[in-house]
Structure 1
Amino acid sequence: MTDPAASFSLPDDTDTVRAALVEWYEADHRSFPWRETTDPYRILVSEVMSQQTQLGRVEAAYREFLDEWPTVEDLAAADRSEVVGFWTDHRLGYNNRATYLHTAAGQVVEDHDGEFPTTPDGLQDLHGVGPYTANAVASFAFDNGNAVVDTNVKRVLYRAFDVPDDDAAFEAAANELLPAGESRVWNNAVMELGGVACGKTPRCDEAGCPWRAWCRAYETGDFTAPDVPTQPSFDGSRRQMRGRVVRALRQHGALELDALGHRVRVDYTPEGTHGREWLTDLLSDLESDGLVSVDDDVARLSR
């Protein structure tokens, strides 16, 4: 059987890759109520609600659900028909998710004295809790999970590191990147990257993606992915040129501006439309993003 890890190659400087993502996430990220708690009950509720449901609708329903049943004991004691009715009224998808959540609450109370299991394997013993949800709860509640791999994470790994469209390869790559003992912050960060910067239509520069210096898609301008089968529209000229700058500096090291310009555009001429002024403007953006530094008309990667 082929080793899934043999089908991709992560950057050699993985510690720098990890640090860049965590720093980006901790500097600024979307605020959701389930990110402000480590209560496994509240996190389980959010995970079950979020399955194929828009986060905007989930956030309002989540708050109302917890107003009605604030603890796992409250939910276990509730009438199941009321829980299902809540689910239906808030258009949260398949009603069996409500019944699974109600049954799982009963298991926690009756079989575990109100204490949630703390490992992915233990959490999977709860009714309706599959591997993904168990791992998410273990990560976000107990900082004790493996890498979470959802559609957003697959898209990021496929684009950034050329991980093939294979579940085993995605899982292997995600777990190789995961810093030991930091599943809570890491899984939140990589999912945020997929949701904010690396969506179906990428926002690499606008969102300040921290992985642009390593990203294959950013270099090539090809942002296809397993859930994006055709090339999405994007500001191809400028983004592609920025990617070419990063690629040229990675391949050749520090370069004088004119030498760099010829590697970025075949029609580069210092005094032309796409010349020194155009290149300096492009480099200024990259300097602002902390990717490139320019000194004495020589450009080099900052990382």
Structure 2
Amino acid sequence: MSDEESPLSGVDRDAVRAALVEWYESDHREFPWRRTTDPYSILVSEVMSQQTQLGRVVDAWEDFLEEWPTVEELAAADRADVVRFWSDHSLGYNNRAKYLQEAARQLTAEYDGTFPESPAELEELMGVGPYTANAVASFAFNTGEAVVDTNVKRVLYRAFAVADDDGAFETVAQGLMPAGESRVWNNAIMELGGVACGKTPRCDEAGCPWRRWCHAYETGDFTAPDVPEQPSFEGSRRQFRGRVVRVLGEYDALALSELGPRVRVDYGPDSRAWLRDLVSDLADDGLVEVVDGDDRSDGDADDDEDETVRVRLQA
């Protein structure tokens, strides 16, 4: 895929990266494995998290590390105890417990208890596939590639209209990730998919940092590879924000009185304060610019103000 053909052509990658990292570092879900760089602890969290909700994993992860705090102790444990723990904590797929212990035994026998640091070497461990190997390399050693899981695919598909193709997702994901920053980047983009860009998107509620670049946010089409049907957003604030952006894309600038009827067919005097508030939110997000007048949202402005306040897309 050439630069001209890339979904990222014309995208300010530095701005996209900075916006996501700033959003993640300002506020994100707190999971205990995000506060450690110990590869053993991270491997346990990754294996437990496979097809299990993260909220349910926290207690199990903490109990597991209390029972077997080091890779050596897990390697020496009775297999029946490890499988029983897995079952008692409803983690599912008991084979994962067996493979985790086999990896621990392999680490003690072949690596003297020291974890390899590259994804390729980590993938040599029993039961450790490409995704888990890359996650451990990223979060423990900051040496991973860009993570591409279901959540990340959904984000890239919506934000940059990436084709539903594994190779395309991997190319774009790697093209976005800052070199040598796999730890923070992979945490951040997965957080985006888990918090703001889920199957039912929460763009405004979660303050998605990519709204100004997002194809789905602009068009209102939030389908994705794992979301074959459009999530319901008819009449939602998100839908009207998308309409404002689309309408302004067709004009240099519009007065509020001209913009309103193009955004909703029932626009009238009772809708003026609503439109000013919507425009104000878009301006705060850097998507539009109020270029004339003094836009107020007190609901008392008259028709003259609606004529003088003009709005255009942010350059």
- TM-score of the two chains, using structure 2 as the length reference: 0.87
Question: Is the 1:5–1:173 Cα contact (8 Å) retained in structure 2?
Answer: no
Over 3 Å counting, the alpha-carbon distance change for 1:188 and 1:4 in structure 2 is farther
Q: 1:295 offset after TM fit, Å?
A: 4.6
Separation in structure 1 between the aligned mates of residue 99 and residue 57 of structure 2, nearest angstrom = 17
Separation in structure 1 between the aligned mates of residue 93 and residue 144 of structure 2, nearest angstrom = 27
Deviation string for 1:174-222 (max 9, x for gaps)? 1111110100000000000000000011100000001111111111111
Matched, 1:160 2:159: yes
Q: When the two structures are aligned, how many residues end up with a matched partner?
A: 298
Separation in structure 2 between the aligned mates of residue 251 and residue 12 of structure 1, nearest angstrom = 20
- Shifted more, 239-248 versus 138-147: the winner is 239-248
Instruction: Quote the residue 1:285 is aligned against.
Output: 281
Question: Is the 1:24–1:210 Cα contact (8 Å) retained in structure 2?
Answer: yes
Over 3 Å counting, the alpha-carbon distance change for 1:302 and 1:6 in structure 2 is closer
Instruction: Quote the residue 1:257 is aligned against.
Output: 255
Separation in structure 2 between the aligned mates of residue 19 and residue 250 of structure 1, nearest angstrom = 25
Q: 1:241 offset after TM fit, Å?
A: 1.8
Question: Is the 2:260–2:275 Cα contact (8 Å) retained in structure 1?
Answer: no
Q: 1:150 offset after TM fit, Å?
A: 0.8
Over 3 Å counting, the alpha-carbon distance change for 1:40 and 1:245 in structure 2 is same
Deviation string for 1:256-290 (max 9, x for gaps)? 43487169527487x6455x544212112223445
Instruction: Quote the residue 1:49 is aligned against.
Output: 48
- TM-score of the two chains, using structure 1 as the length reference: 0.90
Over 3 Å counting, the alpha-carbon distance change for 1:28 and 1:301 in structure 2 is farther
**Pairing 1:1-303 to 2, within 5 Å after superposition:** 3=1, 8-10=6-8, 11-234=10-233, 236-249=235-248, 255-258=253-256, 261=259, 264-265=262-263, 267=265, 272-274=269-271, 276-296=272-292, 297-300=309-312
Deviation string for 1:55-84 (max 9, x for gaps)? 121111000000001111111111111111
Separation in structure 2 between the aligned mates of residue 217 and residue 155 of structure 1, nearest angstrom = 11
SS at 2:167 equivalent: helix
Separation in structure 2 between the aligned mates of residue 245 and residue 37 of structure 1, nearest angstrom = 44
- Unaligned runs of 5+ residues in structure 2 are 293-308
Separation in structure 1 between the aligned mates of residue 227 and residue 163 of structure 2, nearest angstrom = 14
Question: Is the 2:82–2:97 Cα contact (8 Å) retained in structure 1?
Answer: yes
Q: 1:98 offset after TM fit, Å?
A: 0.5
Separation in structure 2 between the aligned mates of residue 256 and residue 9 of structure 1, nearest angstrom = 29
Separation in structure 2 between the aligned mates of residue 152 and residue 98 of structure 1, nearest angstrom = 25
SS at 1:61 equivalent: helix
Q: 1:106 offset after TM fit, Å?
A: 1.1
One-letter amino acid of the structure 2 residue matched with residue 75 of structure 1: L
Over 3 Å counting, the alpha-carbon distance change for 1:191 and 1:263 in structure 2 is farther
Separation in structure 2 between the aligned mates of residue 89 and residue 189 of structure 1, nearest angstrom = 32
Question: Is the 1:7–1:169 Cα contact (8 Å) retained in structure 2?
Answer: no
- Shifted more, 277-286 versus 96-105: the winner is 277-286
Q: 1:240 offset after TM fit, Å?
A: 1.7
Flag the structure with larger Rg: 2
One-letter amino acid of the structure 1 residue matched with residue 71 of structure 2: V
Over 3 Å counting, the alpha-carbon distance change for 1:96 and 1:29 in structure 2 is same
Q: 1:91 offset after TM fit, Å?
A: 1.2
- Shifted more, 234-243 versus 185-194: the winner is 234-243
- Unaligned runs of 5+ residues in structure 1 are none
SS at 1:121 equivalent: helix
Separation in structure 2 between the aligned mates of residue 244 and residue 290 of structure 1, nearest angstrom = 16
